[in-house]
């Protein structure tokens, strides 16, 4: 039995299929996606449909990415909150995703986790990062359709955190200064070794930190799509992007 954790797909369906082929999955494997299946890349609809199909054959857990969070918020606002919908900055085709995905596939996205712990390996899976002095016990497996942000507002930053300030507080993208650490540089491992995506590291292998591993190696930006394979030790399989589908935004 292997625990296999796959980095940010961002609609890179060709590379995902290539990676899944190379993994030679068996029915005892557990598959995890670290979030951001959608947006930026060539085929978000195809990526969700393909991962949903996989989930019918093999145990598959989704971690909620900031892009899924935004899409699900869009769906919610469309139904229940016209004012909030108007205020959303939507730069991608959520309408098409809404139209093309089945109810089952949307429900599957909603079953994503903010945090998921694989206790036998001491791993904590999350999309973005962990601020300092976190008050929630992140080993509780917080799930999007179960644990609302109203009840647990601290979860909101889990999909987004990159840099933190000297007090461990969240810093918005673009607001960071040179002396502010990337969260994983200072994370002490108190919730386990954190496996995360969100921040692209344009290199062939996942980026190692003292108590964290960044597995988004920027496939959509012309980098690699990585799978971290945890059995008795860590192994990686990486697939080189077929092309550069999007430019890194600063
Ligand atoms: Mn992300």
pLDDT, tens only, 75-125? 999 999 999 999 999 877 899 999 999 999 999 999 999 999 999 999 999
Q: Does position 248 have pLDDT exceeding 90, yes or no?
A: no
Asked if residue 248 is part of any domain, the answer here is no
Give the tens place of pLDDT for each residue, 12-33.
Answer: 999 999 999 999 999 999 999 9
Give the tens place of pLDDT for each residue, 173-230.
Answer: 889 999 999 999 999 999 999 999 999 999 999 999 999 999 999 999 999 999 999 9
Tell me how far the alpha carbon of residue 65 lies from the centroid of ligand 1, in angstroms: 5
Instruction: Give the model's pLDDT for residue 187.
Output: 96
Asked if residue 174 is part of any domain, the answer here is no
Tell me how far the alpha carbon of residue 199 lies from the centroid of ligand 1, in angstroms: 7
pTM of the entire structure?
A: 0.96
CB neighbours of 107 closer than 8 A, spacing ≥ 6?
none
Asked if residue 133 is part of any domain, the answer here is no
Asked if residue 37 is part of any domain, the answer here is yes
Instruction: Give the model's pLDDT for residue 90.
Output: 85
Q: Can you give the CATH number for the domain in which 121 is found?
A: 3.60.21.10
Give the pair of three-digit tokens for residue 151.
């009840």
Instruction: Give the model's pLDDT for residue 142.
Output: 97
- What burial class does residue 219 get, using C-beta atoms within 10 Å of its C-beta: 0-12 exposed, 13-18 middle, 19+ buried? buried
Q: What is the mean pLDDT of residues 151-176?
A: 92
DSSP H or E stretch at residue 194: strand 193-196
- Residues with a beta carbon under 5 angstroms from ion ligand 1: 36, 65-66, 198
What would the DSSP string read from start to end of 224-248?
A: EEEEEEESSSEEEEEEE-SS--SPP
DSSP letter assigned to residue 87 = H
Q: Structural domain tally of the chain? A: 1
Asked if residue 222 is part of any domain, the answer here is yes
Tell me how far the alpha carbon of residue 39 lies from the centroid of ligand 1, in angstroms: 10
Tell me how far the alpha carbon of residue 68 lies from the centroid of ligand 1, in angstroms: 9
* 88-93 long-range contacts, CB within 8 A, separation 24+: 92/39, 92/40
Asked if residue 185 is part of any domain, the answer here is no
Report the first-to-last Cα separation within the chain, whole angstroms: 40
Instruction: Give the model's pLDDT for residue 208.
Output: 97
Asked if residue 158 is part of any domain, the answer here is no
Tell me the C-alpha distance between 59 and 25, whole Å.
Answer: 11
134: pLDDT confidence band, cut at 50, 70 and 90? confident
Asked if residue 66 is part of any domain, the answer here is yes
Instruction: Give the model's pLDDT for residue 250.
Output: 53
Residue-number span of the structural domain to which 108 is assigned? 3-127+193-240
- Burial string for 82-112 (b: 16+ CB within 10 Å, else e) reads eeebeeeeeebebeebeeebeeebbebbbbb
Is the distance from CB of 159 to CB of 198 less than 8 angstroms?
yes
- For β-strands 193-196 and 115-118, DSSP reports them as unpaired
């Amino acid at each position: 039995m292997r625990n296999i954790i796959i980095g940010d797909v961002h609609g890179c369906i060709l590379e995902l299929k290539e990676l899944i082929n190379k993994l030679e999955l068996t029915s005892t494997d557990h598959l995890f996606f670290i979030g951001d299946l959608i947006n930026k890349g060539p085929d978000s609809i195809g990526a969700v449909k393909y991962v949903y199909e996989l989930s019918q054959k093999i145990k598959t857990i989704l971690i909620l990415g900031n892009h899924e969070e935004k899409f699900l918020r869009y769906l919610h606002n469309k139904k229940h909150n016209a004012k909030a919908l108007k205020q959303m900055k939507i730069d991608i085709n959520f309408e098409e995703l809404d139209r093309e995905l089945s109810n089952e596939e949307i429900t599957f996205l909603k079953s994503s986790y903010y945090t998921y712990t694989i206790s036998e390996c001491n791993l904590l899976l999350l999309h973005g990062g962990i601020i300092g002095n976190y008050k929630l016990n992140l080993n509780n497996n917080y799930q999007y359709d179960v644990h609302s942000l109203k009840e647990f507002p601290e979860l909101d930053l889990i999909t987004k955190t990159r840099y933190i300030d000297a007090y461990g507080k969240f810093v918005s993208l673009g607001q960071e200064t040179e002396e502010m650490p990337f969260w994983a540089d200072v994370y002490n491992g108190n919730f386990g070794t954190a496996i995360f995506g969100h921040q692209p590291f344009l290199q062939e292998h996942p980026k190692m930190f003292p108590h964290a591993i960044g597995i988004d190696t920027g496939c959509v930006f012309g980098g690699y799509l990585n799978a971290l394979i945890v059995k008795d030790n860590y192994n990686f399989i990486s697939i080189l992007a077929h092309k550069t589908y999007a430019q890194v935004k600063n």
